[in-house]
Structure formats: structure tokens, C-alpha cells
Chain A
């Protein structure tokens, strides 16, 4: 294992060129590639086959290993990000060290991007195989290392996805830390009244889950808390959580509400999107979990200016505690589930719709709050300008979604919530007219198409076309919509007394911060990126971190819950295995070459290198647990003593010269 010099004499390289059905073979002349490879020095055999990753393909490789004594394997196929692990397994099962494999990416980086020039694509594929063979000559057997796992998980976000994931992990018997930024669990779902297509009362199905999570013996609930730092890797993460003070003792508070009655500070209530107000001491909902009031330090007169304390005087339970301080908790966990959710799109930049200028133009989530019996209107849908029920309502779909100016993606929930709200309006006032202006109705889920039909039967009118502008008639204060009816092929105008903008989901404001703390990338749409769009939708790009709910992409409740359970199942794998295998990523230090200069020590971003005293000199020493394998140390070492095991200097230099012109 310590011998980093490859055994160049007894090389027997096998090269396997994959057609990937027609994905590669349609562009690249795979036979020419294999023929060429078979003549390269050290290559014992070169084959081409339809699907190298299928049973027959893998069998082909293991047979060669066992019968021909192949001791280095080159697979020219897709990206190593897709099948490197598959083929490493093939080698392992055939009795060969799995790190004696090199892949040539002739699909993503060749056939798929050079389709119009098959000749030059084939030349490139040959070069990529030459390079992989060159590297394979210098591959050395490496050992994975088993590391004990910290058998607990961190779940970030206390919405429905986070709650579901936390419950699943905890029900399997492992400790969970459930971190919620706000004072209560519930998330976005906690703001909704009824949910499609069943018209269930959201609180009736959500509250029991919130309570189970809070009371679960294996779940430690941390509200008013956020992640501020993370380090470590799969199986052993170290995280720091900042817990802001609630200034109310959760155990003592009886949620009688007297404090809020007496509190003199009145500010817009974010739960109701500013349609109502709350006090500086408040509770987000009568169903809040934990059921305890919370003081908002930004607005409390005592905390800001040292006066008042009226809540303290009226509280019979003596629950107010202004001495609470901010805490920073350090936790160790084996897996992390990110369920930070979404924000509703803010339609203010769409000036043509006049949101913020016309009172009777509201967003879907605002209407949703009106339908809530505990919301700002006690459950009645009313025109904000008059406080009276609307007679004619328009929903405008795809506001901020499927719009090149804002977000190209479909937000997936707006069609269905508009349909749901249209039915609620019809229930409240059967005489009212409801119009939905849409581009396409996407009723893709179970029971959704049926739900769509129900609203059509209830008399909701669906107009296929985009609304170009809204203006208020100065005399009647009605809203005049100008739109195109694409089925009639004509431009029309109509007046309404309430307009609802069906805004979609956008990444939560703190998505960027979380992505930086955890080192997990975002997709072009801004949501957190999954490890593979089809096959690993629950995993973040970094091992040991998993994604649940709308943090990854807009989702409705059933999808968010399903993905949360999926993420929990993925997160449970390292916890239940108890051990994880760490790839041999850390560098090998050749002590006789090391001059003890310490350049690598200064460069290492993880403090994984330090100098150790030997009898006659000092040498660098690497801490394999801290090392993440970036190779910056190798690049900087002036004497070539620090050697990246999987990317050695010999490997890279021979790749360079093998394909030189």
C-alpha cells in the first residue's frame, strides 16, 4: 500500500469501449476506438459492447480479470460521476483492487457535444482513451478506510418535509436534532387553510405531526435556531447551531395570551403577509409547537430601549425571562437533511399587474390566508379595498414562473391552488364569477385532473391566455384586465373586483447561505442541486447530505413528504451501517523527500497537515480524518513529497503527453 510506484513491468490493461446503446456509437466509431486501444503499449485486450454497465458487460470485464489476468481496467463510457462506482464494484467482485480502474468520458464530454462532427469526435474519443490508458499504467492499489459513524442526524427546517424526515429517522431509533429558524414548527404548510385535492384542513393533518415531532424522545427540537457552521464529512459532521433567545420559558408559558394583549408594540404579521398585525410578544398560530409565546428582539421596547416590561408584569405563570442569552450549540451528526423550503415569489417587479399599487390585487398565498378561519378575515374572502365579498374574481397563473424575465421553471403548485381557491370562492358565494387565466393547466398529481374537472363543473371559467396589464378604473375602482384569449385568437378586456396573482415558489432567501455553509451547490434555478437529477434526487452533491421538500425544487405537499421520507431513508444508511468507508483521498507523504518546509501546512484549508519532529529533521504529516483530498498541497510541494494518491504527478503528466499533438 505504501508503494506508490506502479508496477510497470507486469501491466495487463483491459480497455472496454461502451456504445451506450446509440448514445455513443451513433457519433463515435467505437470499433475504431477499440482497435486503436488494442495496439497501445500495455493493453492486453480491448473490447466494445452495447452497454458496458449491464450484467453482460460487467461479466465481460470480470471474466477478463480472472481469465486473462487483466490488472488495470479502462472503461470508455459515460461520466465517472455516473458509473465509476458501478465499475469499481465490478473490479472488487472479480478480486481486483477497485482503484485500478480509470474511466474515459466519451459520452458527456464527447459524443453528446460533438454530434455534428463524428470524425473528429472519434479522434477525440481515441485521445481520451489514450489518456485513460496512460493514467491506468500509473494506477496503484489503494485501500478504503472504515470510520465509525456518529449515529445521529441533523434536520434543517421545521416545515412538513423536515418534520417528516425527522420523524422517520427518529422512529428508526436514532437521535435527531430538528433545527427551525422560527419560533414554531409548521413551515409554509402551517400557513395554509385547506389543501388540494382533498380539501383537508391543513392544520388538522399537520398539527398532530408537529406534536409527535416535538414529543418524540429521539428528537431534540431547536426553535429560533439556525445553522452557522459545518465541517467534517459523511458519517461525522460537526455543526454549530445558533439558538436565539425566546425570552419566554417554554415550560412555564401557558399560552394564555395576556402578554400579547398588553404589549404596546404593533407590527405587520408576516404569517398573514402583512394583512394583519401582531405584537412584539407573539405566537405564530394557536396550533404553534412548542405552544409558547416568543419575544421578537427586534421590536420589543424593553430589549431595544430598556423600557416597558409590561408582559413580565402581567404574566401569571412567571414565564417571561429577559435574562435568556443567545447560545451556540456544537453538535456531532452522521447525516444532514436540508429541508429549508421556499419563499413565495414577490410579484412587485411585474409592474404591469400593479401589485402593491392596487389594493385589490393580491397574491395566492395572501388569498390563502383569507380562507383560514384563524386568518386576517376570519376565513372570509373579501376585497381588501372595501371589506366586502368580491363578485368577480380573476386568477392570473404563472406569475413569475415560466417567464424568461424571472424564473423559467414551472412552480408546480399554482394551478392546483388556484383551482382549490376558486372552489372555495364558489362555495362561499355561488353567485360570484371566477375566471382563471392560464397558459397550460398542469393537473399532474393523483386526483388532480378530477379536481380540475370539479372546478369546471362548478362554473369556474378557464381562459387560455396571458394577461398583459391591469389598471384600475378611476371611477368604479374595478380592475380592468387586458388579455389575449388564445383560443378565440383575440385581444379582450374585462373588469374584476379582485385579482389573485398565482405566484410560484422561489428558493428561500437563506438558500445561498446554507449552500455555502454546507458546500453544496445550487442549480441554475437557484434551488439546491441534487447529486443526480433522475437517480439521486434525494442526495445533495456532497455525500452524507440529503435534500427534502421544496429546497430542491418546487413541490406540493405529497411530493415534499415523499421526498422527505426518501431523504430520511438515505440518511439512515450510514447511521444503521455504523461505519462508512472513506475513500483514499488523503495524500501520501514520502518522508525521505520531504524537506519540512511547511508550505503545505500553510496552504491546507482544513488544517489537516502539520510538521512532526523526526530524529534528524521535520516532516509533514497528514490527518486523514480532516483531509478532504483537494490536492492543493501536492501542487505546492517543491520537492514532490506530497503525493495525491488518485491524481499523482506521474498520472497527470503521462495523460498530458499521451494525447499531445
Chain B
């Protein structure tokens, strides 16, 4: 059974990693996920930075994006943890608090919109886990990856726990590992698996030094665990893992990790037999040779 969603792309995917969008548009329809474009969607806006400066502004812009999906009468689908954090949490707050909703609607009136609270917000990982199921993925896979993946969940995907009922455990989740194993890859145990990548919350922009030290720990432990690549479900984490390796090299003179980084839709594409170029994986800063040579 096909399901249709309003696709919320956010900023990073179109601007920095369009390959993730390309992969998604090829791969998702083949596992029953139909995508509809949200005309006029803006930045989500970012949950760490914008919300910290002005919650009302954050809510109003998020509500405007949600209104576009409400007009389409479709649930929102995103494969960015930051967009998910903003849209899911804003949607929840606005649905739960009438006074808040009224105040946001008084602002939206200026652009002729009303937030009604009629749609939901889903992260791709949730849809894959609950609607498609790992078994459904396994059926779509034609070329099992046979690689060792260091699975990275990211923060906004699983926290705050009270608003992520579908996640189960926020400290030791397993859904993304199950989805990864469905690709014929092995999800390795790695020491810093549940730590933040270091990008979000304005850390990367404000204190690159701290951000990169956090990243370095993660990369070290992924390497020690013998991972072939890092798998993520968020373009910002993706950017941090990918671009960050180059920065560690340039700014600190570290030996290159050469650790390939894949968004789940790209890994799924490889497992379904698409070529690397079709999935835009060649747009990463870190080369893919280490894994492409191992693929069946």
C-alpha cells in the first residue's frame, strides 16, 4: 500500500547535499512512499539556534510551514533531524496549547493562513520502521551491502523522549540498527554511538573547536569498532561527519580518517542496486572508494 506525504526538504539537503534528495526521490516511491512537494516552504527554522533566540518567531515560521501541509491534507515527511525536531515539537506545542495557537494564528493572519492542527509530522526513520517495516526493506533490497555500519541516530530524532513515543528507549534505541541490518549491513557496537555529533544547537557555528573535538571522539570510536562507514538520517549530522573530517585534517593536522558517510536513503539506494552517481554519494567531501570496492 502506497502512502503519500508532504515532503519537507529544509535547507541543508537542497543547498549542501542534494544527493540525499536525489536518492530519496528514486528510492522511496519504490517502497511505497509517495512524495508531494510543499510549495513555498521555508527554513524549518532550526530548533537549536532560532528557538533559543525567539520562541515566538520559531513557532510562527514553523506553523507557517505546517499550514502548507495542512492545505495539502498530508502528513509532513522529513529526513532531517533538525527539521523533525522543529516541526514535530512545534506541532505538538501548538496542538496542546490553545493560547499559544491563538497567538501564532494572529501572526499567521497577516499572510492569510490559519494553523488548524490537522496533520502529523513524521521522520523518515519512523515511517520506515512502522509503515514499511524492516521486512519490507529487506524485500526491496537486491544487493545486500555486506558492510559494517556505525549507526548514528542524532539527538532531535529521539529526544525529548516524552514527545517521541514511537522511539521506545531514547538511551538505547534499536530501530535504526534494525533498519540498517535490513540492508544486509552489520550494525557495529561503538563506544560513542549515542553521543551528539557536535553540529547542532549552534555548537558548530559558534565553537567549531568544541564541535570538532566531539566529532573526533565519535570518529575515533567508529574506527576502533571497525566500521566501514557511518550511517545517519540527518543532513546536518551528515555534513558534520563528512565535512568535519576534512576540517580535522586541515585545522588540526590529523591523519585522514577516510570514513565514508551515507544518509540512510543513499545506503538504501546502493542496496537496491542504484549507482553511486545516481545517489549523489560522489558529492561528499570524503571519498567512497573504501566501501564501493567492497560492494557486491
Contacts and interface: CB of A to CB of B under 8 A. Distances in A.
Tell whether A and B belong to one assembly.
yes
Interface of A is mostly: mixed
B217 to A, nearest CB: 10
B191 A352 contact: no
Interface in B187-207: 189, 191, 194
A351 B172 CA distance: 8
A469 B172 CA distance: 12
Q: Which of A351, A352, A469, A474 has the most CB of B within 10 A?
A: A351
Interface in A73-95: none
Interface centre among B171, B172, B189 (most CB of A within 10 A): B171
Contacts of A352: 171
Nearest to B214: A491
B113 interface: no
Contacts of B169: 351
A228 B291 CA distance: 68
Interface in A430-473: 469, 471
Nearest to B193: A471
DSSP class of B's interface residues: helix, strand, loop or mixed?
A: loop
A351 B171 contact: yes
B170 A351 contact: yes
A638 to B, nearest CB: 39
Contacts of B191: 471
Contacts of B170: 351
A145 B194 CA distance: 69
Interface residues of B, number: 7
A471 B189 CA distance: 12
A469 B192 CA distance: 11
A471 B194 CA distance: 11
A347 to B, nearest CB: 13
A549 B171 CA distance: 36
Interface string B160-176: 00000000011110000
A317 to B, nearest CB: 52
Contacts of B172: 351
A352 B172 CA distance: 8
A327 to B, nearest CB: 46
Nearest to A350: B171
B52 to A, nearest CB: 19
A474 B190 CA distance: 10
Contacts of A469: 171, 194
Nearest to A357: B172
Contacts of B194: 469
Interface string A398-411: 00000000000000
Contacts of A351: 169-172
A352 B169 CA distance: 10
A471 B172 CA distance: 11
A577 B13 CA distance: 81
Contacts of B189: 474
A474 B224 CA distance: 13
B137 to A, nearest CB: 26
Interface string A256-275: 00000000000000000000
Interface string A538-575: 00000000000000000000000000000000000000
B209 to A, nearest CB: 14
A469 B191 CA distance: 12
B188 to A, nearest CB: 12
Interface in A350-365: 351-352
A388 B170 CA distance: 33
Interface in A381-418: none
Nearest to B169: A351
Interface in A299-353: 351-352
Interface string A98-109: 000000000000
A134 B169 CA distance: 60
B91 to A, nearest CB: 22
A471 B171 CA distance: 11
A351 B169 CA distance: 8
A474 B169 CA distance: 21
Interface string A473-487: 010000000000000
A469 B170 CA distance: 13
A351 B170 CA distance: 8
Nearest to A468: B195
A469 B169 CA distance: 14
Nearest to B162: A405
A471 B192 CA distance: 10
A352 B194 CA distance: 10
Contacts of A471: 191
Interface string B120-150: 0000000000000000000000000000000
B12 to A, nearest CB: 27
Nearest to B172: A351
Given A351-B169, A351-B171, A474-B189, 6 more contacts: A351-B170, A351-B172, A352-B171, A469-B171, A469-B194, A471-B191
9 contacts: A351-B169, A351-B170, A351-B171, A351-B172, A352-B171, A469-B171, A469-B194, A471-B191, A474-B189
| 9 residue pairs, one from A and one from B, having the closest CB atoms | A351-B171, A352-B171, A351-B169, A351-B172, A471-B191, A351-B170, A474-B189, A469-B194, A469-B171
